[in-house]
Structure 1
Amino acid sequence: MTRVEELTVGELAARSGVPASALRFYERQGLIHSRRTTGNQRRYSGGTLRRVAFIRASQSVGLPLSAIGEVLALVPADHTPTREFWVRASACWSEQLNERIERMERTRDRFTECVGCGCLSFERCALVDPGGLVT
């Protein structure tokens, strides 16, 4: 297979399955980088595919782009994230993901209790008024 040196935004979109509008957004956010041709067209290195894959995989587990961007900022723009990079990023996010799982489990349990009760009371329901603001 021939190594692709550079991709247009359309080619990157087709190869990654990510809409061109999202790729341009990622670029505005500093998550991916391109160079401009003399005709002002974007050209992405072949390694950008791996960065996009990293972004999409991270988003699929619920990580916000801000957190993804913080980690990608540690990788120079002209470098491709490696497996070792992914392992380090995953370790950094494990605690955050575990906390999110615990919150979701608590929410599920509250929802189950609420469905069983059926009250949907502003005074008593932890789902309707989770912060206890209504008195």
Structure 2
Amino acid sequence: MTQGLAIGDLAYRTGLAVSAIRFYETHGIVKPLRNKGGHRRYGRADIRRLSFVMAAQKLGFPLSDIAEHLHALPDHKAPTKADWTRISKGFRKEIDQRIAALEELRDKLDGCIGCGCLSLKSCALYNPKDVKATEGPGPRNLKQLPG
């Protein structure tokens, strides 16, 4: 793999800054090899890894969770379809929970969302006698949503 992609080439292919690639490297998301001159060399599979990271981060997944899932992928070779299927199953549960939370928020957004404001008649249903205030300040139901 001493030929591989130079970090600048990987940056160009992914649209990431070189510094971002080095940052992801510190989190174990990409693991370059070094050529005889000590320069980093990345595999083409790293393009896919970094693209996946960018997509998952855009959806709000924390980098630590993404890195944990990617550690299951083989180093220095392209992941198989089975590898990606295994990772997608790991994300599916979290995505389904987020979708359910967003649907609930959408359906309750025009009424009380349990923030403790007591400004709407429906607060008596969702937050009687301001019981949510004992849990702390702010929109308590929103703070309990996953993500």
Alignment of 1:1-135 (within 5 A): 5-113=3-111, 123-124=117-118, 129-131=138-140
Counterpart secondary structure, 2:73: coil
Shift of 1:123: 3.1
Q: Distance in 2 between matches of 1:42 and 1:28?
A: 13
The structural deviation recorded for 1:59 is 2.7
Shift of 1:53: 2.3
Q: What's the offset of the Cα at 1:90?
A: 1.3
Structure 1 position 57, deviation (Å): 3.1
Question: Following the alignment from structure 1 to structure 2, what is the Cα–Cα distance between the partners of residues 83 and 59?
Answer: 21
- Render the CA deviation track for 1:21-59: whole Å, top value 9, x for unaligned: 211111000010112345443221222112222222333
- Give the Cα separation in 2 of the matches to 1:33 and 1:91: 24
Instruction: State the number of aligned residues.
Output: 121
- Percent identical across equivalent pairs? 36
Supply the AA of the counterpart residue of 2:85. Answer: V
Question: Is contact 1:51–1:80 with CA below 8 Å preserved after alignment?
Answer: no
Any gaps of 5 or more consecutive residues in structure 1? 115-120
Q: Is contact 1:10–1:20 with CA below 8 Å preserved after alignment?
A: yes
Length-normalised TM-score, structure 2: 0.68
CA contact (8 A) 1:50 1:81 kept: no
User: TM-score scaled by structure 1?
Assistant: 0.73
Q: CA RMSD in A?
A: 2.5
Structure 2 stretches lacking a partner, 5+ long: 120-126, 128-136, 142-147
Match of 2:122 in 1: none
Q: CA deviation at 1:122?
A: 5.4
Q: Deviations over 1:81-127 (max 9, x none)?
A: 2222222211122111111112222223333226xxxxxx853268x
